[in-house]
Structure 1
Amino acid sequence: MTSANSYDGIIIGAGQHGLILGSYLAKAGLKILLLERRLTYGGGLSTEERTLPGFYHNLHSINHFSISTTPWFKDLGLSAKMRYIVPRYEFAQPHSDGSALVFSRDLDETAANIGRFSANDAKTFREWNIKAEEMTKNIFLKERFAPPLSETERAEMLGKSVLGSEFLELTKKQPLDAVNELFENEYVKVLFLFKLSLFGTVLHEALNTGSPVGSLIRAFDLATGYELAEGGSWNLARSLMETFIANGGEFRNQTQVERVIVEGNRATGVELPDGTVLKARQFVASTIDVYQTFEKMVGREQLPAAVQQKVAQHKFTPWTLFGLHLALDEAPKYRSGAFDPNVDSALKYNVGSETIASLLEAHDQVEQKLVPTKAQFGAGALSVLDPRQAPPGKHTAYAWQVVPYDIEGNPDAIDGVRDGLADAILSKWREYAPNMTPDNVLGSYTYTAKEYTQELTNMRYGDIFMGALTSDQVMYNHFGYRTSIDGLYMAGSPCHPNGAITGGAGYIGAGVIASDLGIDPWWTPMDARAELEGLA
């Protein structure tokens, strides 16, 4: 059957995963239709002028983990369409006593900075960094872009090598215990845990449980880290869309999918609210969330009992982000600059949390559906590293603080604390950067789960990852690329390697679908089994 409404494959959702999946399969010669409910595309790759003209704010994704080295970034030739900035200083933590701890990409520099607080901690970090760099390069990044092996096979393969065995042991460690065992200085401990939490874990659970992903090693490596999309995160989305269209893909925005059509337990297309049917000859792929895919578009009654239960038990992160986005006359200037001048040049900051107890207190309060009583937040001033994100001589900055989705059980309660929380954040910021005064703030915008769940409906309950990154939902326990319905695939954040900007599920999904359709891929899909077999 060939018609204007008939395609080889239909992809639901034009976020990072849908764009990557579509680009690969369109280039493989398939007729691909990419559907998006919204006017725009890119999902969490959002850069907008929400304060004043010329000030560009990344409302969702800001820091992209080693994107320019991913297989899909290279395969799709994206370096010809955009540039990533790799900052020398990735993390900084100013302290109320005027000191600061700054992590550089350079081992000697970082060890020296840690050594200003503890010679023993500097020595420990140097020893662990050597292991972590090897584990990240040869295990973590390889598994990140390949379908995960079963728990048994993975353990068997990793156990054959010294490096693999050490990695497995590390995945069993509780981060809080590990940090307390390894380090003696409180500032050092806090920044390590802060770095780990920003990697994409639920902090409270990350502190007290191990993770099969092995994300604990990210607290120790330096060479592989976060990058900044020049001009704003949306430029990655733009580059991917240009690639998708150039490869022959078709994009339709403002197109809501009412249901996935299932005939004889096979997905054969989708139906729109006005009754229009779009046929899929070979597959339908969802890159959105579990709830909308299976509860709304497929219907629970068409799923086996085990899948119904898995959908019903899908867990979400217990916190959301309160974002304060600022247009500034000048960038934050930290008092700690006298201690370490590089504190003003970092990508990411831990502001206001100087003890493990304070971190735990904030997250305990959030779990009790309370706004943290003390402002402590992640922050950054991206225009310092990328002047394109603000007018000449001006700057942008942001602060992200964790808050409950439904304060005291009410999702609308955020409106009653919005202004007070913004003021508290700025007041706390001024304690560390005295120039963060009201007259330095040219414009401000608060962005909370109340807003972003309306714009991005797949972030159910304010969950920016579209599923809690707990051990029972990651790696070999992820939601899966193939579903119980023939021809229906999942290729979004509920799938390995899960939420945040990785592109992994779209990339892996392309290989899975190509294999099922008998298509010889024009790329070389990552094979975890082959990669792990090569470990020494």
Structure 2
Amino acid sequence: MTSASAYDGIIIGAGQHGLILGSYLAKAGLRVLLVERRLGYGGGLSTEERTLPGFYHNLHSINHFSISSTPWFKDLDLAAKMRYIVPRYEFAQPHADGSALVFSRDLDETAANIARFSASDAKTFREWNIKAEEMTKKIFLKERFAPPLSEADRAEVLGRSALGSEFLELTKKQPLDAVNELFENEYVKVLFLFKLSLFGTVLHEALNTGSPVGSLIRAFDLATGYELAQGGSWNLARSLMETFIASGGEFRNQTQVERIVVEGNRATGVELADGTVIKARQFVASTIDVYQTFEKMVGREQLPAETREKVANHKYTPWTLFGLHLALADAPRYRAGAFDPHVDTALKYNIGSETIASLLEAHDQVEQKKVPSNAQFGAGALSVLDPLQAPPGKHTAYAWQVVPYDIDSDPDAIDGVRDQLQESILEKWREYAPNMTPDNVLGSYTYTAKEYTQEITNMRYGDIFMGALTSDQVMYNHFGYRTAIDGLYMAGSPCHPNGAITGGAGYIGAGVIASDLGITPWWTPMDARSELEGLE
């Protein structure tokens, strides 16, 4: 066993959270080492040429929720290193009858589009939009970047105001029940549910359960929404790495952490696969998943009974993604463009899901470890909005369909249906966009849980969130930044605000660690209590 020089802190994992956490603490004057098992960095911020040269495909993260408005994006001055594109048309849903429902950032435009299907639903949406915009701005986004209050404290603070009380009531509603209560038109209901989900097949967590996060309001707001990293999602990772290095941090890739060294119930460093021990004077922070951190790197025998139980009971999503990435001669042109020309320029599409019954059927089939019998998927053609992602005059497109991790209980079964799935997606796509013919497809690449769990081992069982977004694992029930081992922190997707590209856990974790180390932060960490106490 050999030893290397010591650092103030060691961060495991160079994804979004590790890069943000490292940037804050390095800029605070700490000597920080960021280690990454893989050759590259960025985690789910991945942009690669997997079909043909010059066609850039975002294999994981594509649509980033209001990133340019986050406190960490502003604190780290990332706007000087990259640009976010804010599409005017965020969601579109073409229909087999040639019509389409399109959501714009503009309230009047969106209400007018809804009114083409139901005047009553348009009126309802206007009323709810006013409340949702205020709740998003004053509650949802504030809680997203602060350590969550306890359930009792949160209820007490939010309960002091009319807005907060109404928000709490909203968190108890099941999205499926809510849309059925509020809206009459099936197309309207389905697109609202699609907006609440991520990938086209509405997920169980988003459909049948309330959530303390209050994500139901995302169905109604317009001002806050998804953005697109110009040139590809990896440009956010690049900008963060440049910031980390400029702040004095040190990065080591191809560095496999075999063990987190624990002495006297305190994390004191890491041991690498080659036996090298690197000392950490003040902290070790994991931004990877629960299983690798505690079962493999710490070891169950070093955990107290409560933590062992928590790790053993950590739940994962019961679905994975089948990703189809395309290099195209021409972007998809929808028949519904004659009904609404803006359908061709939206960021995200709901393809093939036109009824709640079809959503429920697909959900049931995935739960039964079956591939949905009818193709229905989320899709997009990013090069329409960002020409940098394809050669001049050419285009990229993607489709994401939800499938089981182990079809018929066999994780390798995806190989036997891969070609069939690709063709069923393209066939369904052609029903809505007739130009999606074989001669328009210059190249294709499929990316499934079989591949991405090998490349990004955090995504155990194909879970891209590294933990199911169920009510017992979010907000005040999240995994926690501090652990039962002194000096060991969690600051990744198992922690609030959980999975997807938020940067939240890295940002919040920086404040938690700085506070524990007695470091005066150079930034102003967000505090949920002070933010919510001012509500009226």
Residues 4/201 of structure 1: CA separation in 2 closer, same or farther (3 Å cut)? farther
**TM-fit CA distance, 1:205:** 2.9
Q: Which residue does the alignment assign to 2:170? A: 170
Matched, 1:417 2:417: yes
Q: Which residue of 2 aligns with 1:109?
A: 109
**Paired residue for 2:34?**
34
- Superposition pairs of residues 389-404 of structure 1, within 5 angstroms: 389-404=389-404
| Aligned equivalent of 1:501 | 501
Could you say what secondary structure the match of 2:283 adopts?
strand
Contact map agreement 1:18 1:506 (CA 8 A) in 2: yes
Q: CA deviation at 1:4?
A: 5.3
SS of 1:210's partner is: coil
**5 Å matches for 1:79-94?**
79-94=79-94
Q: Does the CA-based 8 Å contact 1:98-1:339 persist in structure 2?
A: yes
Match of residue 99 from structure 2 = 99
Classify the secondary structure of the residue corresponding to 1:469: coil
Does the CA-based 8 Å contact 2:194-2:202 persist in structure 1? no
Task: Tell me the distance in 2 between the aligned counterparts of 1:494 and 1:47.
Answer: 23
The equivalent residue for 1:58 is 58
Which runs of 5 or more residues in structure 1 are unaligned? none
The aligned runs of 1:477-492 (5 Å cut-off) are 477-492=477-492
- Cα distance in structure 1, aligned partners of 2:243 and 2:525: 19
Change (3 A) 1:494 1:201: farther
In 2, the alpha carbon distance for the partners of 1:210 and 1:201 equals: 18
Offset, 1:5: 2.2
In the alignment, what sits opposite 1:355? Answer: 355
Deviates more, 1:193-202 or 1:22-31: 193-202
**Alignment-mate amino acid for residue 40 of structure 2:** T
**Number of the residue aligned with 2:265:** 265
Alignment of 1:383-532 (within 5 A): 383-532=383-532
Task: Return the letter of the residue paired with 2:104.
Answer: S
The answer to whether the 8 A contact 1:202-1:317 is kept is no
Q: Secondary structure at the match of 2:205?
A: helix
Counterparts in 2 of 1:161 and 1:202: CA distance versus 1, 3 Å: same
Which residue pairs with 2:12 in the alignment? 12
| Conserved 8 A contact 2:136-2:217 | yes
Alpha-carbon distance in structure 2 between the residues aligned to 1:333 and 1:11: 46
Residues 50-103 of structure 1, C-alpha deviations (whole Å, 9 max, x = no match): 000000000000000000000000000000000000000000000000000000
Contact 1:202–1:468 (8 Å) recurs in 2: no
Is the deviation greater in 201-210 or in 8-17? 201-210
Q: Is the 8 A contact 1:78 1:240 kept in 2?
A: yes
From the superposition, tell whether residues 199 and 141 of structure 1 become closer, same or farther in structure 2 (CA, over 3 Å): farther
CA offsets per residue over residues 354-402 of structure 1, 9 Å max, x none? 0001011111101100001000000000000000000000000000000
Query: 1:353, 1:359 within 8 Å by CA — same for their partners in 2?
Result: yes
Partner of 1:196: 196
Q: State whether residues 199 and 377 of structure 2, in contact with CA within 8 Å, keep that contact through their aligned partners in structure 1.
A: no
**Is contact 1:230–1:388 with CA below 8 Å preserved after alignment?**
yes
> Structure 1 segments of 4 or more deviating over 2 A?
199-202
The residue aligned with 1:534 is 534
Structure 2 Cα separation of the partners of residues 495 and 364 of structure 1: 29
1:257-295 deviations in Å (ceiling 9; x for gaps): 000000000000000111100000000000000000000
Structure 2 counterparts to residues 149-168 of structure 1, below 5 A: 149-168=149-168
Q: CA deviation at 1:153?
A: 0.3
Contact persistence 2:200–2:401 (CA under 8 A): no
Tell me the distance in 2 between the aligned counterparts of 1:459 and 1:174: 27
User: Gaps spanning 5+ residues in structure 2: where?
Assistant: none
Is residue 332–residue 381 contact of structure 2 (8 Å, CA) maintained in 1?
Answer: yes
How far apart, CA to CA, are the structure 2 residues paired with 1:368 and 1:466? 21
Contact (CA 8 Å) 1:204, 1:360: kept in 2 or not? no
Name the count of aligned residue pairs. Answer: 534
Q: Does 1:211 align with 2:211?
A: yes
Q: Name the residue aligned to 2:311.
A: 311
Q: Indicate the residue corresponding to 1:221 in structure 2.
A: 221
Matched-pair identity in %? 90
Q: 1:331-367 deviations in whole A, cap 9, x for unaligned?
A: 0000000000000000000000000010111111011
Moved more, 484-493 or 194-203: 194-203
1:75 maps onto 2:75 in alignment? yes
TM-score with structure 2 setting the length: 0.99
Per the TM alignment, residue 207 of structure 1 is displaced from its structure 2 partner at its CA by 1.5
2: CA distance between counterparts of 1:400 and 1:56? 16
Q: What secondary structure is seen at the aligned counterpart in 2 of 1:299?
A: helix
Whole-Å separation in 2 of the counterparts to 1:303 and 1:166: 41
Cα distance in structure 2, aligned partners of 1:77 and 1:93: 36
- 2:368 is matched with 368
Name the residue aligned to 1:123. 123
The Cα of 1:201 is off from its aligned counterpart by 11
Counterpart AA for 1:440: N
Query: In structure 2, the residue corresponding to 1:5 is in which secondary structure?
Result: strand
Bigger mean CA offset, 119-128 vs 355-364: 355-364
> Aligned partners of 1:174, 1:503: CA distance in 2, in Å?
27
